[in-house]
């Protein structure tokens, strides 16, 4: 079992020790609390553990009152109490003590002993909690101590590298999209996002907007035994977030503020405008630059540094305030958070406001009422930066640096040697704003029926309304026209969960049984309007009637899910545990086969509790776990299995009049049913060195069958596609976690956690499809760059094998089909965007009032297709000349002996989707380095104050030639192609280096 030592870091303890009673004025300065009565006794003392180390933050409360204090950094306290009072001394993980105060001036020296019952950690699982000793499934647990002293603004940042089996990919855009995968991607056409559950309530909008300071712990359910209780929703893993609540007798006020300055830490080494023009004259002297133009570029009178024009220093502000406390009957927690992120790309920023209130009240001995409400409002400005040639980052790195920014009539100019739109105009002459309004809330009633039996009914809502606005000025280009657009996407989810739980211990038998009935309904409403050729631009996007042409649309959908759940956890003598789970889900998305059934079973053996090991002390807490189960996926749209009609129009004869009608847009597929994932897990846990070094290893094997995919219809039969249960996908691998308390003395502490995951993903079958292409990232430049094909993983790159440059300066590609020419038949799988191995290493070192934290993360065995470098190094239609010094210095025309790039004049075909541009993107990154110092309340007289400075993404070690090996320009996820089309760098928003300065005050 996990043991909490009393000599843990004083600084970590300071984050937890503000534990006042409801009306306590905590006093760490060894002064009386100020109870002025005639018959009072002054008592002082020191609290230590069994090793003689001081207990920091132990609670000393006069029994029956709110009068109390806590121990300081040396374990000492002073308190005035009523004559003859009884003191209650307590600390988490240790047995409480009561001491009678029978005289004035009493000096106490008390030793707290570990409470073995309390040290049985309670782990949050689906629809309840269990002792860690009773846990048979694979559940990763991370408490807020892992990240609370680091400047984390989003939960995804906290998960990356800190939880084994979890991979996080961030778009980099302030407030932008993230991608979280638990043990790999299971599906080709459906979403692979895990299920997010906050305090038992499903969050369909993910974890965006959640204040990281509100988090108490995060549990990631990884195997089928733990996720099967969520049935059709748990196929991709489950992320459970438990938020903070008030604590009886402890009033706490916390204020946390930080400001960070960020910048792009790596730029491409570009040709200057003069070097660009000079090189252009070398290759194309008949159509080059005049002497006067060259002189203006040489002296700096003309020319554009596009990286300077597009990028800037960013600013991140984060302010958090929390108040909590309460009595034995009622507890409260109130928090507020404001985040303002100004991105490193100009005109990209994000603001977020959030507030949360949690109340818990024991109304009677048999009824407890809990309510939790959270509101979030976000405003995000800037482009979407998706993977396409229109991405302004991609455009700017390939644009003509010799041009004038504006035409004579004040419009944004286009380059001489480029065909795309002006990249600065894309962010400066256009405006994109997304306003998000979100609220979640729940009301829970917990009834104690008889001893051991409770009934809890929880009714909740999850509301989100996204309002998008866009405007583009006619000044965006010489031939540009003005346009505007508004859209509104509304979602409301209602959930009712009714839970019977029975917990009882009979001698050596421990039983927990859970039965749940749950109903969920989700409604979607969408509206959009747009227009072109505005008669005036003065009102921006606000008056569609100003548009010469208009478009509009709206849609509505609704889906429901009914679920019945049963789970039994049986433990015998703290040695053998058996868990059986069964869930039945009925989904409105399916026509005939609405119900899916998802069983699982798990067993665990606590080997260390066996009598034959009672005298063997080298290994502690050894447990062997095994589980198997089936989980489902229903991630299709609401009416996918129905035959749907869409509007069509035509004209007759020579008449231009259009006649509207309807025709089928999708075929009915009433027999389609659930996609299923079968998973086996085998785990081993143990500790050594008196539990100061603990290990957890898991082998997992997931097999997804009956994949929900689109099957092709032969052209002779009308063509098109239909939804079917076909295909098989496998994920297997090992994840591990190693926790170490390397140094534990009075002044020095060093805690370290290492996590790692090895994962192999493989597509076994695609039904009648031989392959499925990913989304085209750059039309006419890099078609069909990714592919899904049996025998390979999702996220495989597809293209040509580049063999070098011929003697006459041309690219040479492998002729795989031996037909004497290079054609589509010579394409093959040339790389993989998914890493083979990911790791995270988190360290916290404390010396007295100083604390230092260092977090490294990395990935190995992954590739990126660098289309940015391809476009900058070749003459293609979209960027008709080279831009980088590397492309000039190592071109065959300039340096044939050391050429990396084919001739611009005689290079022949130059494929973007070739091994020449697929690069090793493995990396190791120092994701965070923080140092802090805490001034205790005994010195400041009003609060514990921690000052800190930190740096995120201090350095990255990689062979990748792009700006950032982790930068991802996601494809439009409406096609669910994020995993299929991942890993293509076509202007990914770079992860910045950020220096953050912070102050945290605990009152």
Distance, CA of 708 to CA of 726 (rounded, Å): 6
Among the listed residues 161, 144, 441, 123, the one whose alpha carbon sits nearest the alpha carbon of residue 320 = 144
Q: What is the pLDDT of residue 11?
A: 35
Q: Who contacts 338 (Cβ-Cβ below 8 Å, separation ≥6)?
A: 317, 318, 319, 351, 352, 353, 354
Average pLDDT over residues 966-977: 58
What is the per-residue pLDDT across 683-741, written as a single tens digit (0 to 9) for each?
999 999 888 899 999 999 999 999 888 888 877 777 778 888 888 999 999 999 999 98
pLDDT of residue 51 exceeding 80, the answer is no
What backbone phi and psi angles, to 5 degrees, belong to 362?
-85, 95
Give CA–CA dist 543/538, Å, rounded.
10
- pLDDT of the residue at 114: 62
How many angstroms separate the CA atoms of 488 and 464, rounded? Answer: 10
Please determine, for residue 762, whether its predicted confidence score (pLDDT) is greater than 70: yes
Q: What is the model's pLDDT at position 147?
A: 79
Long-range (24+ apart) CB contacts under 8 A made by 961-964 are: 961/866, 961/869, 961/919, 962/864, 962/866, 962/868, 962/869, 962/919, 962/921, 962/988, 963/264, 963/266, 963/267, 963/268, 963/868, 963/988, 963/990, 964/172, 964/266, 964/988, 964/990, 964/991
Single pTM value for the model: 0.84
- Find the helix packing angle between 273-283 and 291-299, rounded to 10°: 150
Spatial distance between the Cα atoms of 227 and 598, rounded to a whole number of angstroms: 10
Average pLDDT of 547-569? 94
pLDDT at 997 over 70: yes
Q: Extract the runs of DSSP E, i.e. beta strands, from 867-943.
A: 918-920, 923-935
Range in 119-133, 262-276, 398-412, 638-652 the model is least confident about: 119-133
What is the percentage of the chain residues whose pLDDT exceeds 70? 93
Confidence of residue 23 (pLDDT cuts 50, 70, 90): very low
Round to whole Å and give the CA distance between 511 and 420: 67
Token pair for residue 961?
């030639």
* CB contact at 8 A, 341 and 350: yes
Total length of the chain: 1003
DSSP per-residue letters across 180-204: EEESS---SSS--PPEEEETTEE-T
Q: Tell me, what's the pLDDT at 496?
A: 95
Q: Which residues pair with 432 in a beta bridge?
A: 470
How many whole angstroms separate alpha carbon 568 and alpha carbon 578? Answer: 8
Q: Is 438's pLDDT higher than 60? A: yes
Phi-psi region of 851 (alpha: psi -120 to 50; beta: other; left: phi over 0): beta
- In this structure, the number of other CB atoms found within 10 A of the CB of residue 455 comes to 14
Q: What is the helix (H) or strand (E) element at residue 359, kind and residue range?
A: strand 349-364
User: What mean pLDDT is predicted for residues 437-450?
Assistant: 95
- Across 140-157, b (16+ Cβ under 10 Å) vs e yields bbbebebbbbbbbbbbbb
Contact 946, 934 (CB under 8 A): yes
3-state SS of 824-881 is HHHCEEEEECCCCEEEEEEEEEEECCEEEEEEEEEEECCEEEEHHHHHHHCCCCCECC
Query: Which H or E run contains 95?
Result: none
- Give me the DSSP letters along 614-658: TT--SEEEEEEEEEEEEEEE--S-TTTTS-EEEEEEE--TT----
Angle formed at CA 625 by CA 622 and CA 631, multiple of 5 degrees: 155
- Three-class SS state of 696: strand
Secondary structure string (H, E, C) spanning 753-764: EEEEEEEEEEEE
Q: How many CB atoms lie within 10 A of CB 658?
A: 9
Handedness of CA 226, 228, 231, 236 (dihedral sign): positive
| 378, 459 Cβ separation under 8 angstroms | no
Sheet holding 918-920, edge to edge: 918-920, 863-866, 984-985
Given this model, what pLDDT does residue 22 score?
A: 32
pLDDT tens digits for range 166-185: 888 877 788 877 788 898 88
Give the tokens for residue 633: 């996926």
Tokens at 658, concatenated: 């259009």
- Predicted confidence at residue 644, as pLDDT, reads 84
Q: Closest Cα partner for 154 from 425, 339, 323?
A: 339
- What sign for the dihedral angle of Cα 614, 620, 623, 624? negative
The Cα–Cα gap between 699 and 731 comes to 11
Decide if pLDDT at 355 tops 50.
yes
Side-chain-facing half-sphere of 256: CA atoms under 13 Å: 23
User: How much is the average pLDDT of 64-84?
Assistant: 80
- Please, which residues have CB within 8 angstroms of residue 628's CB and are 6 or more apart in sequence? 224, 225, 600, 601, 602, 678, 679, 680, 681
Closest CA to 251 of 474, 441, 88, 68: 68
3-class secondary-structure state, position 70: strand
Q: Within the chain, how many helices (H) and strands (E) appear? A: 11, 51
In the block, tokens 């906290």 appear at 158
Can you tell me the distance from the alpha carbon of 823 to that of 811, in angstroms, rounded to the nearest whole number?
Answer: 14
CA-to-CA distance for 598 and 235, rounded, in angstroms?
10
Which pair of tokens denotes residue 941?
């007289």
pLDDT tens digits, 218-253: 889 988 888 888 887 888 889 988 888 888 877 889
Q: How much is the mean pLDDT over the chain?
A: 86
pLDDT of residue 877: 63
> Residue 971: pLDDT band by 50, 70, 90 thresholds?
low
d(CA 582, CA 440): 28
**Contact (Cβ atoms closer than 8 angstroms) between residue 929 and residue 842:** no
| pLDDT at residue 659 in the model | 81
* pLDDT tier, 745 (very low <50, low <70, confident <90, very high otherwise): confident
Q: What pLDDT, on a 0 to 100 scale, did the predictor assign at position 97?
A: 87
Structure tokens that stand for 210 in this block: 């959640």
Is the CB of residue 880 less than 8 Å from the CB of residue 872? no
DSSP, res 992: P
Per-residue pLDDT band for 981 (boundaries 50, 70, 90) equals confident
- Residue with the two structure tokens 């005050």: 1001
Per-residue confidence (pLDDT) for residue 93, from 0 to 100: 58
> Which of 130-144, 387-401, 502-516 is the least confident region?
130-144
**Among 29, 68, 72, which Cα is nearest to 47's?**
72
């Amino acid at each position: 079992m996990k043991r909490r030592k009393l000599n843990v870091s004083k600084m970590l303890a300071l984050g937890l020790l503000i534990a006042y009673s409801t009306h306590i004025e905590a006093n760490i300065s060894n002064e009386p609390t100020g109870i002025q009565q005639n018959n009072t006794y002054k008592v002082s003392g020191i609290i230590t553990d069994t090793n003689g180390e001081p207990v920091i933050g132990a609670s000393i409360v006069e029994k029956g009152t709110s009068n109390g204090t806590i121990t300081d950094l040396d374990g000492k306290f002073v308190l005035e109490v009523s004559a003859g009072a009884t003191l209650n001394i307590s600390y988490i993980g240790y047995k409480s003590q009561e001491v009678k105060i029978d005289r004035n001036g009493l000096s106490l020296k008390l030793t707290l002993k570990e409470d073995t019952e309390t040290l049985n950690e309670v782990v949050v699982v689906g629809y309840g909690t269990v002792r860690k000793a009773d846990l048979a499934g694979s559940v990763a647990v991370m408490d807020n101590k892992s990240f609370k002293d680091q400047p984390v603004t989003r939960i995804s940042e906290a998960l990356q590298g800190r939880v084994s089996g979890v991979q996080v990919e961030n778009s980099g855009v302030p407030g932008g999209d993230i991608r979280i995968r638990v043990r790999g991607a299971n599906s080709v056409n459906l979403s692979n996002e895990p299920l997010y559950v906050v305090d038992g309530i499903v969050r369909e909008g993910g974890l965006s907007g959640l204040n990281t300071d509100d988090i108490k712990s995060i549990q990631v359910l990884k195997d089928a035994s733990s996720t099967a209780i969520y049935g059709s929703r748990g196929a991709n893993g489950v992320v459970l977030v438990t938020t903070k609540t008030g604590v009886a007798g402890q009033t706490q006020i916390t204020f946390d503020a930080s400001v960070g300055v960020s910048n792009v830490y790596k730029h491409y080494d570009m040709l200057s405008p003069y070097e660009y023009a000079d090189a252009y004259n070398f290759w194309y002297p008949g159509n080059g630059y005049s002497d006067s133009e060259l002189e203006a570029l040489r002296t700096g009178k003309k020319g554009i540094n596009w990286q300077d024009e597009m990028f800037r220093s960013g600013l991140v502000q984060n302010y958090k305030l929390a108040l909590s406390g309460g009595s034995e009957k009622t507890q409260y927690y109130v928090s507020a958070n404001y985040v303002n992120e100004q991105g490193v790309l100009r005109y990209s920023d994000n603001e977020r406001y959030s507030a949360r209130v949690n109340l818990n009240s024991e109304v009677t001995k048999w009824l407890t009422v809990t309510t939790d409400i959270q509101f979030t409002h976000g405003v995000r400005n800037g482009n979407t930066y998706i993977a396409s040639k229109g991405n302004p980052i991609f455009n700017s790195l390939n644009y003509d640096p010799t041009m004038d920014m504006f035409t004579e009539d004040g419009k944004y100019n286009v380059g001489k040697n480029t065909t795309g739109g002006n990249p600065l105009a894309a962010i400066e002459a256009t405006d994109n704003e997304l306003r998000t309004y979100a609220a979640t809330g729940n009301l829970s009633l917990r009834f104690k029926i008889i001893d051991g039996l409770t009934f809890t009914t929880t009714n909740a809502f999850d509301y989100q309304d996204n309002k998008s606005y866009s405007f583009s000025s006619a000044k965006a280009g010489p031939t540009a026209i003005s346009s505007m657009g508004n859209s509104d996407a509304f979602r409301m989810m209602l959930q009712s969960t009714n839970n019977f739980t029975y917990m009882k211990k009979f001698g050596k038998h421990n039983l927990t049984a859970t039965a749940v009935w749950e109903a969920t309904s989700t409604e979607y409403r969408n509206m959009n309007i747009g227009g072109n050729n505005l008669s005036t631009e003065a009102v921006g996007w606000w008056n569609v009637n100003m548009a010469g042409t208009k478009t509009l649309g709206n849609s509505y959908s609704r889906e429901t899910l009914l679920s019945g759940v049963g789970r039994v956890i049986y433990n015998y003598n703290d040695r053998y545990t058996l868990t059986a789970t069964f869930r039945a889900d009925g989904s409105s998305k399916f026509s005939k086969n609405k119900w899916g059934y998802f069983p699982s079973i798990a067993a665990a053996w606590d080997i260390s509790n066996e009598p034959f090991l009672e005298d063997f002390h080298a290994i502690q807490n050894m447990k062997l776990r095994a589980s198997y189960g089936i989980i489902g996926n229903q991630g299709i749209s609401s009416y996918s299995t129905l035959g749907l009609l869409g509007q069509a129009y035509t004209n007759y004869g020579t008449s231009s009049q259009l006649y509207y009608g309807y025709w089928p847009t999708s075929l009915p597929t009433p027999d389609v049913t659930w996609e299923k994932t079968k998973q086996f897990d085998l785990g081993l846990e143990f500790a050594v060195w008196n539990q100061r070094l603990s290990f957890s290893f898991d082998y997992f094997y997931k097999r997804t069958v009956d994949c929900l995919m689109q099957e092709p219809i032969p052209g002779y039969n009308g063509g098109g596609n239909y939804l079917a249960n076909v295909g098989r996908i496998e994920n297997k691998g090992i994840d591990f976690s190693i926790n170490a308390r390397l140094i534990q003395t009075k002044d020095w502490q060093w805690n370290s956690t290492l996590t790692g995951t090895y994962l192999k993903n493989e597509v076994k079958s695609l039904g009648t499809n031989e392959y499925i292409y990913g989304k085209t990232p750059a039309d006419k430049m890099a078609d069909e760059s990714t592919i899904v094909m049996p025998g390979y993983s999702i996220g495989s790159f597809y293209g040509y094998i580049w063999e070098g440059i011929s003697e006459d300066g041309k690219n040479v590609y492998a002729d795989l089909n031996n037909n004497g020419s290079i054609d589509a038949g010579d394409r093959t799988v040339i790389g993989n965007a998914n890493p083979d191995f990911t790791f995270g290493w988190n360290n916290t070192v404390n010396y007295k009032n100083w604390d230092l934290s260092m977090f490294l993360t990395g990935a190995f065995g992954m590739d990126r297709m660098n289309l940015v470098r391809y476009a900058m190094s070749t003459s293609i239609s979209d960027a008709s000349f080279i831009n980088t010094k590397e492309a000039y210095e190592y071109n065959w025309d300039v340096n044939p002996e050391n050429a990396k790039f084919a001739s611009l004049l005689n290079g022949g075909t130059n494929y973007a989707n070739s091994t020449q541009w697929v690069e090793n993107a493995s990396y190791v990154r120092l994701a965070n380095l923080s140092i802090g110092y805490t001034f205790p309340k005994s010195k400041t007289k009003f609060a514990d104050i921690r000052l800190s400075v930190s740096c995120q993404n201090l350095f990255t070690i990689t062979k990748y030639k792009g700006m950032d090996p982790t930068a991802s320009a996601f494809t439009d996820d409406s096609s669910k192609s994020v995993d299929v089309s991942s890993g293509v760098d076509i202007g990914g928003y770079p992860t910045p280096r950020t220096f953050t300065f912070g102050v945290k005050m605990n009152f």
